[in-house]
């Protein structure tokens, strides 16, 4: 499966421009991490990809055909977990998934439901009413409905929100396994999730793509721009983007990113989080 986003812009009726001239190629198999601050345009991009919105400019091609012409085909190959979604509270987990399986036209729904319930560790709650579930369990139902029918294209918008660390790791591994033979787009604020599983990263800010490449390339772009120092004076922080501040018995140890590190800062190996913050902070300065 291949998606081509060509010069896509999206302006809402309110006048807010969410995306500006976006160009992006997504090809399976791949697990692509979509990073960006709040309001960067990530969710808008995802809504465009699931045909919930139409771009005001540009086009999206699915295997070479315009999305509006193959909307049904795209949706038949799609598993989507939005950032904010509702469930039918009065149904049980199994009933809700059966409902979604009917909407998705899943063949052998019983087996498919059993598989996804197992995949998201909800066997014990399979017969529980959705209204009785915790936030994390609801999120898992959301992930399960996206996985129903083994779709070749998966979009997860903030999938690990509300999950505890153990669950997060479980789902990171699940996404990684899922992406072995399909296209998975994962939007998140949790850099650690991206670093652990994504082979490609797209950084979006102010409705424009700021970076596309591998996590290693993003990290390399911040080399020489990450440093640490012992804070002696608050003025030392001026012009720096502080990414960590640790109170120790010897004083306050600061980690910072900057275009030009001050002489009192000792260069450090950048992490993906440093690189991401460097990219975003550099843009803010510009």
Partner 1 sequence: MGKIFRYECRRLLWNKFFIGLAVVLLLYGALVLHSVTILGVSHTAPFSPWSFGDYLSRMMLLLWLGMLFFLTFYTSPQARRAAILMDATPMPPKQYALARCAAALTGGALLTLLCMVEAAVFYGRMFHWYSWGSLLLPALVTLLPALVFALGSGWLAGQIRPWLVYVWMAVPFLLAALPLPEALGLWNGSFFTAYPLTLETLDPAFTVPEVVLLPQGIALAAGIVLLTAWQNRYPAAA
Exactly one of 11, 17, 95, 121 binds partner 1 (CB under 8 A); which one? 95
196 phi and psi, to 5 degrees? -75, -35
Q: Are 187 and 43 in contact (CB under 8 A)?
A: yes
Would the CA dihedral through 150, 197, 189, 15 be positive or negative?
Answer: negative
For partner 1, what does the binding mask look like between residues 215 and 254, x meaning CB under 8 A? Answer: ----------------------------------------
Cis amide bond preceding 29, omega within 30: yes
Contact 148, 104 (CB under 8 A): yes
Please, which residues have CB within 8 angstroms of residue 194's CB and are 6 or more apart in sequence? 33, 35, 186, 188, 201, 215, 272
Provide the minimum distance between the beta carbon of 209 and partner 1 in the complex, in angstroms, as a whole number.
23
100 touching partner 1, by CB under 8 A:
yes
Minimum distance from residue 110 beta carbon to partner 1 (Å): 12
For position 86 contacting partner 1 by CB under 8 A, the verdict is: yes
103 makes contact with partner 1 (CB under 8 A): yes
Greatest Cα pair distance, the chain, in angstroms, is: 66
* 264 lines the binding site for partner 1 (CB under 8 A): no
Nearer to partner 1, 15 or 165 (CB): 15
Asked if 82 touches partner 1 (CB under 8 A), the answer is yes
Check residue 274 and report its DSSP letter.
H
Q: How far is the CB of 226 from partner 1 (least distance, A)?
A: 39
* Nearer Cβ to partner 1 (153/229): 153
66: contact with partner 1 by CB under 8 A: no
Q: Does residue 89 touch partner 1 according to CB under 8 A?
A: yes
H or E stretch at 266: strand 266-267
104 contacts partner 1 (rule: CB under 8 A): yes
57 lines the binding site for partner 1 (CB under 8 A)? no
79-106: b (≥16 Cβ within 10 Å) or e: bbbbeeeebeeeebbbbbbbebbeebeb
Q: Which of 61, 91, 161, 169 binds partner 1 (CB under 8 A)?
A: 91
Choice from 15, 64, 72, 165 touching partner 1 (CB under 8 A): 72
Strand partners, 156: 81, 186
Per CB under 8 A, 138 contacts partner 1: no
Interface stretch with partner 1, choices 79-87, 180-188, 198-206, 267-275 (CB under 8 A): 79-87
- Order across the sheet with 266-267: list the strands: 241-248, 251-257, 226-231, 266-267
CA dist 56 → 8, 38, 70, 97, 214 (Å)? 8, 22, 18, 34, 30
Other CB atoms within 10 Å distance of the CB of residue 58: 17
Of 141-160, which residues contact partner 1 (CB under 8 A)? 142, 145
- Residues of this chain that interact with partner 1 (CB under 8 A) are 47, 50-53, 72-73, 75-76, 78, 80, 82, 84-91, 95, 98-100, 102-105, 142, 145
């Amino acid at each position: 499966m291949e998606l081509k986003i060509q010069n896509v812009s999206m302006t809402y009726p309110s006048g807010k421009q969410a995306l500006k001239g976006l160009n992006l190629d997504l090809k399976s198999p791949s697990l692509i991490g979509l990073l960006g601050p709040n309001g960067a345009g990530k969710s808008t991009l995802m809504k465009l990809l699931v045909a919930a919105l139409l771009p005001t400019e540009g086009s999206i091609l699915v295997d070479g055909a315009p999305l509006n012409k193959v909307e049904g085909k795209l949706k038949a190959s799609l598993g989507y977990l939005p950032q904010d979604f509702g469930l039918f509270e009065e149904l049980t987990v199994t009933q809700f998934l059966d409902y979604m399986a009917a909407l998705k036209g899943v063949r052998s729904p019983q087996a498919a439901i059993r598989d996804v319930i197992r995949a998201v560790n909800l066997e014990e709650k399979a017969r529980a009413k959705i209204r009785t579930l915790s936030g994390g369990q609801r999120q898992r139902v959301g992930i399960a409905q996206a996985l129903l029918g083994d779709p070749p294209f998966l979009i997860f918008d903030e999938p690990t929100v509300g999950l505890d660390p153990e669950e997060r790791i479980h789902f990171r591994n699940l996404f990684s396994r899922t992406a072995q033979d399909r296209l998975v787009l994962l939007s998140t604020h949790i850099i650690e999730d991206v670093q652990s599983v994504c082979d490609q990263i797209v950084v979006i800010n102010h409705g424009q793509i700021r970076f596309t490449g591998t996590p290693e390339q993003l990290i390399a772009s911040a080399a020489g721009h990450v440093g640490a120092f012992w804070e002696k004076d608050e003025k030392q922080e001026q012009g720096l983007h502080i990414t960590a501040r640790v109170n120790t018995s010897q004083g306050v140890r600061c980690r910072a990113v900057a275009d030009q590190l001050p002489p009192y800062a000792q260069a450090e190996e950048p992490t993906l989080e440093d690189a991401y913050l460097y990219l975003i902070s550099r843009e803010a300065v510009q």
